[in-house]
Chain A
């Protein structure tokens, strides 16, 4: 099998439209993009996508790899005169990046055909600002999206609830860092696909179920992961999600380092034994890891996956990411490659297989 271009796959996946609640929107494109690497593809009731790669043995144990496919975004709350829209957030969107940002309004015509509309989030002209206004952040419900349509024409395609996402545009920074929207968590999805697809079937210690779960960012609490894990009923799970990385205005003990390798979450919700095996084997193979200490919860799907059914031993690994929940999330390709390698390690590790017997 030819080597997967991981960076391109990250751009391709992150560029799909998958705002929470609309994970079925680009389902066909998603399956066209990565379905070929797997033996089976299923779509679930709550907007999940499940990709299965078999190890070839009868009654093989099931390994769940979860990355959430949904992303933050917005949805329309009002269609106003002169083609302006008001919106509300979907997920914990960082409102401060909205003014002057470029968005896509995912409209549909009367027959249900896609009709994407370009929009700009407006800012306030100086003469309408009172002294001190520039220090106040405008709440999202006061911002206007300018579509350049007339109201009558716009209403043919857009209604209350129509999803809105950031216009995909990616930048390559120095030292293999990349910036763009949707890296949370589709960059991890891309790493998982690259890891699973490049592992020969016979090297897997079980059938691998890659869950592209829905509703991590918003909606009923992490329902994609819990419903998905319930349906698969695996022997163990690896949850891969992005992790808050250190920036000049954050504390080092609350963040992980970009280019510091894969973060391995150490928390009461994650399985200690699997964590130890994973970190030991990663060290042997020269895969860079860093510890992310999370008392309480993990803030990721691991919060619910471990609690499904009779309990699922779960590890939680992370990709360091700066500016989370913006349209310019930043990750390092070096870390991404390490994440890919550690996922490959997880699904091929005989020690892990033994430990779960």
Chain B
């Protein structure tokens, strides 16, 4: 699982610019599925056909988002410094003084204006220094509209724990690919693996995917917050305690029947699991539930520390548990 997550993480793909990561994913999943399509917004949908007769099988949609939070260049100053706009929920305190990388490989550092107070750390106080000394020099390397993000990387801190970015939600993409491998031998229902675009800017990519597939059941695989670090608000999710079965987050209340079913499967198959109630933050789950006539939607989350920072951390055993639970759900039907 680690090598797969590493492949997913080390590739750029800010919201609205996911082509590169999509191609990496397509290469990985292609051997295990029957059809692969891109939709109008760029989401990748891979179909593994079920063995049951038409009319007797369900449509199950599994979903993870490919995009990561990042930035876009909005203006180039005379002195070669770049001004920027955020794409997604940037934590500027966490982003300050970090190394960034552009899609064309240009490197730079993101820095707040000198003397900015911590409480004033907002987008318009930041600039990117790419080592250019004039606007002309900068313009030869980047243009207004170019995307960049904090450097993508991953490091294995211990046997089970890895840190890096964007773990959110490439770890979910890896889990989906892993499930595709594990059900390659055949499954009863049609399973759609959707790698969606533009989640970080408001769960936009999943909506058309949900509408087009019109699934009976949809499950999102994404990261969730934890309550096991100093100063965290109480939350009954901890790193290493297994797949987090989502009950609700700020954007959605999951289908109660699906939540119960996932708990039962996890208990029966002895897959480590926990229950998630996330007070703030949303996922593609809401968009999947809202498309067309609606579907039973839920989510299996990978507990993560320090989400939307340059040091997102997960426990590999949790990712494995998510893959195991997703697989068991599909094969157990």
Seen from chain A, the residues whose Cβ lies within 8 Å of a Cβ on chain B are 20-22, 24-25, 44-48, 75-78, 86, 88, 90, 112, 141, 159-161, 215, 218-221, 223-224, 226-228, 230-231
Q: How far is the CB of A66 from chain B (nearest CB, A)?
A: 14
Task: Enumerate 8 A-B pairs (CB-CB under 8 Å) in ascending A order.
Answer: A21-B247, A45-B294, A46-B297, A75-B248, A161-B259, A219-B252, A219-B289, A223-B290
Contact A230-B292, Cβ < 8 Å, known A21-B256, A160-B277: yes
Q: Are B275 and A88 in contact (CB under 8 A)?
A: no
A44: chain B residues at CB < 8 Å are 293-294
Q: Are B256 and A45 in contact (CB under 8 A)?
A: no
Given contacts A45-B255, A75-B248, could you give 13 more A-B pairs where the C-beta distance is less than 8 Å?
A20-B253, A44-B294, A45-B293, A46-B289, A46-B296, A88-B277, A88-B279, A219-B289, A220-B252, A221-B290, A223-B286, A223-B294, A230-B292
Say whether A161 contacts B292, CB under 8 Å: no
Q: How many residues of B contact A (CB 8 A)?
A: 33
**Which chain B residues lie closer than 8 Å to A231 at the CB level?**
293-294
Q: Mark B10-26, 1 if CB is under 8 A from A, else 0.
A: 00000000000000000
Q: Which residues of A contact B274 (CB under 8 A)?
A: 160
Using CB atoms, name the residue of chain A closest to B234: A78
Task: For residue B215, give the distance in angstroms from its CB to the closest CB of chain A.
Answer: 9
A-B residue pair count with CB separations less than 8 angstroms? 99
Q: Provided the pairs A78-B234, A160-B277, A215-B253 are in contact, do residues A45 and B295 lie with their beta carbons within 8 angstroms?
A: yes
Main secondary structure of the interface of B (DSSP, over half): mixed
Tell me if B236 and A219 are in contact (CB < 8 A): no
**Cα–Cα distance between A65 and B297 once the two chains are bound (Å):** 25
Other-chain residue from A160, A215, A223, A230 in contact with B247 (beta carbon distance below 8 A):
A160
Closest B residue to A226 using CB positions: B290
Task: Assess the A227–B253 pair: CB atoms within 8 A.
Answer: no
Interface contact B286-A160, CB-CB below 8 Å: no
CB closest residue in chain B, given A23: B256
Verify A75–B255 contact, CB threshold 8 A. Answer: no
Please give, as numbers and ranges, the residues of chain A lying within 8 Å of B275 by CB-CB distance.
159-161
CB <8 Å contact, B295 and A75:
no
How many angstroms between the C-alpha atoms of A35 and B235 in the bound complex? 40
Chain B residues near A75 (CB-CB < 8 A): 247-248, 277
Q: Is B216 located at the chain interface by the 8 A CB criterion?
A: yes
CA distance A322 to B235 in the complex (A): 34
Interface string of B248-278 (1 = CB under 8 A from A): 1001111111011001000000000011110
Question: Across the two chains, which residue of chain A brings its CB closest to B260?
Answer: A112
What distance in Å separates the Cβ of B289 from its nearest Cβ neighbour in chain A?
A: 5
Q: Are the C-beta atoms of A21 and B254 separated by less than 8 Å?
A: yes
A228 and B292 CA atoms in complex are apart in Å by 9
Most A-side CB within 10 Å, residue of B235, B247, B279, B293: B293
Residues of A within 8 A of B296 (CB): 45-46
Cβ distance A90 to chain B, nearest Cβ, rounded Å: 7
Q: How far is the CA of A24 from the CA of B257 in the complex (A)?
A: 8
A contact residues around B292 at 8 Å (CB): 227, 230
